[in-house]
Structure 1
């Protein structure tokens, strides 16, 4: 953890900030290794402090390294305890995470710290998390392996007459049986016309012959997540279904082929988006191409046409998920996870990308 702490200290120094704290779970875990649900990390040039309560005393002792550990003995907030411990040597500038700080929390902070000394920051830790260490990649690979295994098993269960929510429940079960701690998000199973909803929730609808079924699934392994989408055919797909599937498949291939360190993110998005547009379906691809994964299911880098100047860096891990969604007809999405290298990008997910027929 010391390397991560030092990287954050460098970022603070570059911004002329003396201290930083977070209670945002993914950032707490990234900096300290703590996997419990209630913790605070405080970092300055010369101090690394972790605070939790008595429920997590032994867990903190086992998981948190390179930090001074303080366990609450009174029913007070973590931020109040932080102030008690640093009040004799307060930082002149204390960074707060503006995206994760609630108004009520901010109002309590200004009771203890001079408001002019509170500095709003955005994505200080998230930007560090965007590039993954080899240890993080190993955990991501295991989460992805579990996902791939669970997908291959669910194919044996899907059949006409099975409800969408039954398939989703079985996927969640398989993931845990295969070694995951939890699903990474609510599993999406969208059949037939429901496939037109990119984030459609599984319903009581029965899957029927002739449907395309979009399955978006992910799981958590030691805090790190996986994310994959496949669209499968129930029976023989018709001409339009095959045509749209091939367009999405080719769009995904084109974006992967240009992804490498130094390439503008907007160009990776455009490789898929422009191809789909050239095939006449530009109005039906209505979301960004992808997003980073790690301790969060959506984190940096965000792969979209809005990221005009951002560039990929070696070690970034993100999803590549073009799709076409047509109201009243359905949709197709194919999603895989890539890791960026200096030479290009490598696939971390390995489930078949050809159209599967059941």
Structure 2
């Protein structure tokens, strides 16, 4: 075969990977050798000694190839997001005042693992009361009380592909202001859904939600990006945010959509769903209810 390795290195057994790469590329008279800009300084120096001026920096080469999911990947992402969607109503049956955030997180983790998940994608977030105003908090030994918001953000791998879903709910009435904030976030997410389609860019999709939240008077309390790709990793590209105009959506991208509002010392709301970009719009993969659940 024309592209087979040169015979002198074809059967090499070595850990000198880059030396072998240099031999092979030299045999092919390669003029340019790309390297990911995220390599360590030590590895860059090694590559520089081997390839010299042939080196060309590249960004996100493999990650960009992963943007458009094939049928098998979409099937696995459906499995993962479906399991996450099933978990939320089960959690609502078991959470009660007096449980700690850690106990809630551990219950959810155990349920997911018992029902087919391989492992969590990140430490499950449970943030209640004043702590729900932390955009990306973590579960603590704080007890859950009545009449406060509870945000649960979780993702789990199923057949090597992840989900990422957030729901905010309460036990008892969280009060008029936080109920209003919930409605604002819900509408902001709806507006983002309507903006997501092939050709839309990450800045425009973000603005569909962020501008609405600002118009409702909460612009200063939305302080994180509004979505990202998921797949083999929990955070992949493309992204939604004010600086992601160059991130243009294509059919078969799978994205999170996660606007939020966080009022210091009062509480916060985030709603996060996973969407598949389709040729004419999008399909929501996480199907758990998005309406505010107020438990008695």
TM-score (norm 1): 0.76
The correspondence for 1:115, drawn from 52, 72, 76, is 52
The correspondence for 1:178, drawn from 115, 127, 139, is 115
User: Once the 2 structures are TM-superposed, how far is the Cα of residue 311 of structure 1 from its aligned partner?
Assistant: 2.4
User: Once the 2 structures are TM-superposed, how far is the Cα of residue 134 of structure 1 from its aligned partner?
Assistant: 1.5
Change (3 A) 1:90 1:219: farther
Query: What whole-Å deviation, never above 9, does each CA across 1:284-311 have from its counterpart, x for those lacking one?
Result: 0111110011111111110111122432
* Total equivalences in the alignment: 290
Query: What whole-Å deviation, never above 9, does each CA across 1:90-127 have from its counterpart, x for those lacking one?
Result: 6332211112x11122222233x222112110012211
Gaps of 5+ in 1: 1-44, 49-68
The correspondence for 2:43, drawn from 105, 108, 113, is 105
Asked if 2 retains the 8 angstrom alpha-carbon contact of 1:265 and 1:311, the reply is: yes
User: Once the 2 structures are TM-superposed, how far is the Cα of residue 46 of structure 1 from its aligned partner?
Assistant: 3.7
User: Once the 2 structures are TM-superposed, how far is the Cα of residue 81 of structure 1 from its aligned partner?
Assistant: 5.1
Q: How far apart in 1 are the matches of 2:11 and 2:187? A: 54
Change (3 A) 1:209 1:309: same
Q: Which residue of 2 aligns with 1:310?
A: 247
Alignment of 1:215 with 2:183, yes or no, is: no
Gaps of 5+ in 2: none
Q: Which residue of 2 aligns with 1:356?
A: 293
Q: Which moved more, 1:227-236 or 1:336-345?
A: 336-345
Q: How far apart in 2 are the matches of 1:261 and 1:309? A: 13
The equivalences for 1:109-258 within 5 A come to 109-111=47-49, 113-258=50-195
Asked if 2 retains the 8 angstrom alpha-carbon contact of 1:181 and 1:219, the reply is: yes
Q: Which residue of 2 aligns with 1:324?
A: 261
Q: How far apart in 2 are the matches of 1:270 and 1:248? A: 13
The correspondence for 1:274, drawn from 186, 197, 211, is 211
SS of aligned partner of 1:189:
strand
Superposition CA RMSD, Å: 2.1
The correspondence for 1:341, drawn from 264, 278, 292, is 278
User: Once the 2 structures are TM-superposed, how far is the Cα of residue 264 of structure 1 from its aligned partner?
Assistant: 2.8
TM-score (norm 2): 0.91
Alignment of 1:93 with 2:32, yes or no, is: yes
Q: Which residue of 2 aligns with 1:9?
A: none
Asked if 1 retains the 8 angstrom alpha-carbon contact of 2:188 and 2:259, the reply is: yes
Alignment of 1:261 with 2:198, yes or no, is: yes
Change (3 A) 1:170 1:285: same
SS of aligned partner of 1:162:
coil
Asked if 1 retains the 8 angstrom alpha-carbon contact of 2:198 and 2:277, the reply is: yes
Asked if 1 retains the 8 angstrom alpha-carbon contact of 2:79 and 2:158, the reply is: yes
Query: What whole-Å deviation, never above 9, does each CA across 1:183-218 have from its counterpart, x for those lacking one?
Result: 011111000011111110111101111110000000
SS of aligned partner of 2:127:
strand
Asked if 2 retains the 8 angstrom alpha-carbon contact of 1:150 and 1:178, the reply is: no
SS of aligned partner of 1:156:
helix
Q: How far apart in 1 are the matches of 2:112 and 2:3? A: 42
SS of aligned partner of 2:94:
coil
Change (3 A) 1:190 1:84: same
Q: Which has the higher contact order (CA 8 A, sep 6+)?
A: 2
